[in-house]
A and B are shown apart, each in its own frame.
Chain A
Amino acid sequence: MGNLLTIRDLRLEAGSRSAPTVILEGLDLDLDRGEVLGLVGESGAGKSSAGLAAMGFVRDGVRIAGGRIDFDGTDLARAPQRTLRRLHGRRIAYVAQSAAASFNPAHRLIDQFAEGPILHGTADAATAQADARALYRQMQLPDPDEIGFRYPHEVSGGQLQRAMTAMAMACRPDLIIFDEPTTALDVTTQIEVLGAMRDITERFGTAAIYITHDLAVVSQMADRITVMRHGREVETAPTRRMLDAPQQDYTRSLWAVRSIRKPEATGPAEPVLTLDGVSAHYRDFKALDDISFGLCRGRTTAVVGESGSGKSTLAKVIAGLMPPGAGRVAWDGTPLAGHHDRRTKDQLRQVQMIYQMADTALNPRHTVRETLDRPVAFFTGLSGKARRARVRELMELIELDPDAFLDRRIPELSGGQKQRIGIARALAAEPRFIICDEITSALDQIVAEGILKLLIRLQRDLGLTYMFITHDLATVEAIADEVVVMKEGRIVESGPRAQIFDAPRQAYTRRLLASVPQMDAGWLDRARRDAARARSAETAA
């Protein structure tokens, strides 16, 4: 059999024709029938553009400036819209990162499933619906006969992502493009979704392009991996060889990211912030249930859990954005008021927060200087020359050049730079305690690594105490001294890092740990088996 997809010397451009921005340059890809190709790279590497180009599709403002996209004998780069429309959904399907944003919220899942087959004439409505149920069953969705009659908002994110994969399979395409399909999911959910996706592509012999920035995930899914950077291919090799013996320096640096380890904390552990029987409600929903623990001076306490476990609510309660229903939060033995309005300026200064989405945490209409100048003025009362010097000093602390960055507007910064400004804004208050709420989850691994290293250095230099909220256990292993595992608003287990990672006592902690993607070949199968066993153990207990 010949190649299903052959891309040769593909060049994508955006912007004006005279001075174009190059999105992809000289890209070659080959994909056999039934083969899974992993596309890996940082954000902006052009992997999503490459994935879309494999469908003959480019984003608005982008054009194909050269090269061929040969799909089973048709050059998609030059094919008319009519030809592309006949192929899309029928022979090439696409699974997007956010299933929640990709389903039409006004229609039932099964009706959206049937749209493709009816449009392309491969099935009538009744056959399509029967097929939908069969595929839902294969995707291991709960209640496969009925789930299709729900609306998108009535099912969970992981289920929606599986329903979307089922929908992509509706016409039994030859090629599926998966564009970061599990990035937005919890680790434990991710395993189920990955497993179901792999099973179904294997069963129907569907070729796939799997786009991700998570190497461990791609190593489980792909037969071959292409590493991309700045719109060019860096290296392509079969998965095993790519993992064991990467040829290029850049690839090796990607592989090495997960290796940061913070040195063990020494000295006495004296709690600086204590929570005592804290509970909080959203109307009838109990988000926090009797939480008590202490955060030790100069150390990092990681709070881990899946979404909905109450970890972000915990951050809000400590920061004073959400008054607790019961219990108390004490700073150095002094109780803190529940609402930030009733805290003293000094109490506000001591506790700072860094947010998950740097995009929304910084006012896009301000410059970097304005963003930092205000908290410096507000908390330190410095003025004139001293204030300007302090702002520059903050920029140096976060390792950004003051001359190059101070006058830029926030939207002109990259994700990692924005997050650094977020850190600088927190430092401007000269705090002793910083809450980091999922601060690396929206960032690439390489960028995230830089942020973590920065935080570790700042802790050492300034003696900061961190509460680090995350669902990513690799991050926890990198920087935590103490770990608190949360589930459904309660603390499941807590203790020093080594104890939690090496000798977890609770079944839930073990399941969480087993869910962290590993690069070795059999991890996904092992993890699915373990997960099934752990779940039955949890139900039994």
Chain B
Amino acid sequence: MTLLRTAPPTALFGLLVLAATLVLGLFAPLIAPYGETEIVGGEYLPWSAEHPLGTDNLGRDMLSRMIYGARNTVGLALLTTGIAFSIGAALGMFAALRGGWIDQALSRAVDVIMAVPPLILALMLLAIVGPSIPNMVGVIAVIYLAPVYRLSRAAAMNVVALDFIGAAQLRGEGTIWLLRREILPNISSTLVAEAGLRFCFVFLFIAALSFLGIGIQPPTADWGSMVKENATLITFGDVTPLIPAGAIALLTVSINFIVDWMLHRASGLKS
């Protein structure tokens, strides 16, 4: 609780938005006035008491789809970030600890992933494995595993050089103990801060893929494809398609506020 009291207003704002999004996502069926794919009226209805944000290109309620979208987009982004981090961080620390050819092999493999622009790589891999949600999660996790690996390897390199690692090795400790008990606690603050940032990227990436039509498939609601489906409305001076885009922006900014605060705390700077 004291942690929250010392948080700056920007971080509190970020936490509030994140909490609201999570609540909306978790309890979407209870909160949303209509169903996710339910056609409730005419196409492109303007804002009204019945449909606070109007309806979309197929006559579905925009507000309800926004609420369900939070569930799909944010949930998948969390899952993907989680996978990318657990594998990337473990491999990075392992490479830093072992060095030699293991480090070389892993690092060059990661370089290959990083050498191709992420969106193109994703399009290519999804074209091979086919656009389904598990495939998309897997592909994005592989792509984002690379920067996480690089970060955790670099951070772990600094720790591995310290004498307490030598002391544990001289004791005869195994790899798992070294990674989990000696290295991880010393780089966890860096990783947590990075995870927040990476979550934003993953989230935007999913939105981008959905916008391109190979991410989350219709009729599932997600913020990225909602922008795409209703984009034509902008030409008529209607702001509705900007609302999912705005939600993406708001969540991204909020998470960055939280991350800034965490980085600040991790760096040990006072005030």
Interface residues of A (CB under 8 A from B): 61, 319-321, 340, 345, 348, 352-353, 355, 357, 360-366, 374-375, 378-379, 425, 429
Contact = CB atoms under 8 A, between A and B. Distances in A.
Nearest to A344: B172
B164 interface: yes
Given A61-B270, A355-B163, A357-B163, A363 B182 contact: yes
B166 interface: yes
B164 A362 contact: yes
B170 A363 contact: no
Given A353-B167, A374-B171, 5 more contacts: A319-B170, A345-B172, A348-B172, A353-B166, A374-B181
Nearest to A357: B163
B84 to A, nearest CB: 24
Contact of B167 (A320, A355, A379): A355
A361 B171 contact: no
Contacts of B164: 360-363
Contacts of A320: 170
B169 interface: yes
B186 interface: yes
Given A363-B185, A364-B186, A378 B170 contact: no
A458 B207 CA distance: 66
B173 interface: yes
Contacts of A352: 170
A313 to B, nearest CB: 14
B171 A321 contact: no
B171 A353 contact: no
Nearest to B159: A363
B162 interface: yes
Contacts of A366: 185
Interface size class of B (residues with CB under 8 A): 10 to 19
Counting from the closest, the 3 A-B pairs by CB-CB distance are A365-B185, A361-B163, A360-B162
A365 B186 contact: yes
A379 B163 contact: no
Contact of A340 (B162, B169, B182, B270): B169
17 contacts: A319-B170, A320-B170, A321-B169, A321-B170, A340-B169, A348-B172, A355-B167, A360-B164, A361-B162, A361-B164, A363-B185, A363-B186, A364-B186, A366-B185, A375-B171, A425-B167, A429-B171
Contact of B171 (A61, A363, A379): A379
A523 to B, nearest CB: 35
Interface of B, helix, strand, loop or mixed by DSSP: helix
Contacts of B167: 353, 355, 361, 425
A122 B185 CA distance: 52
Contact of A353 (B170, B172, B186): B170
Residue among A319, A348, A353, A365 with the highest chain B CB neighbour number at 10 A: A365
A61 B271 CA distance: 10
Residue among A360, A366, A425, A429 with the highest chain B CB neighbour number at 10 A: A360
Contacts, number: 46
Nearest to B271: A61
Interface string B163-205: 1101101111100000001100110000000000000000000
B270 A360 contact: no
A360 B169 CA distance: 14
Contacts of B172: 340, 345, 348, 378
Interface string B125-136: 000000000000
Contacts of A362: 164
Contacts of A319: 170
B166 A348 contact: no
A379 B168 CA distance: 12
B9 to A, nearest CB: 21
Nearest to A352: B170
Residue among B169, B172, B173, B186 with the highest chain A CB neighbour number at 10 A: B172
Nearest to B164: A363
Contacts of B173: 378
A20 to B, nearest CB: 14
A170 B173 CA distance: 54
A340 B270 CA distance: 42
B267 to A, nearest CB: 13
B174 to A, nearest CB: 10
B186 A321 contact: no
A345 B173 CA distance: 10
A348 B173 CA distance: 11
A364 B163 CA distance: 11
Contacts of B182: 363
Contacts of B270: 61
A213 B171 CA distance: 35
Contacts of A379: 171
Contacts of A375: 171
Nearest to A379: B171
Nearest to A343: B172
Nearest to B166: A321
Residue among B162, B164, B170, B182 with the highest chain A CB neighbour number at 10 A: B164
A442 to B, nearest CB: 12
Contacts of A361: 162-164, 167
A408 to B, nearest CB: 16
A319 to B, nearest CB: 6
A363 B164 CA distance: 6
Nearest to B189: A365
B224 to A, nearest CB: 39
Nearest to B167: A361
Nearest to A362: B164
A429 B172 CA distance: 12
Nearest to B172: A348
Nearest to B270: A61
A386 B184 CA distance: 29
B170 A340 contact: yes
A528 B270 CA distance: 47
Nearest to B184: A365
A378 B166 contact: no
Contacts of B171: 348, 374-375, 378-379, 429
A61 B169 CA distance: 39
Contacts of B166: 321, 353
Contacts of A340: 169-170, 172
A365 B169 CA distance: 17
Nearest to A411: B268
Contacts of A355: 163, 167
Interface in B120-150: none
A363 B184 CA distance: 11
B170 A348 contact: yes
A217 to B, nearest CB: 28
B171 to A, nearest CB: 6
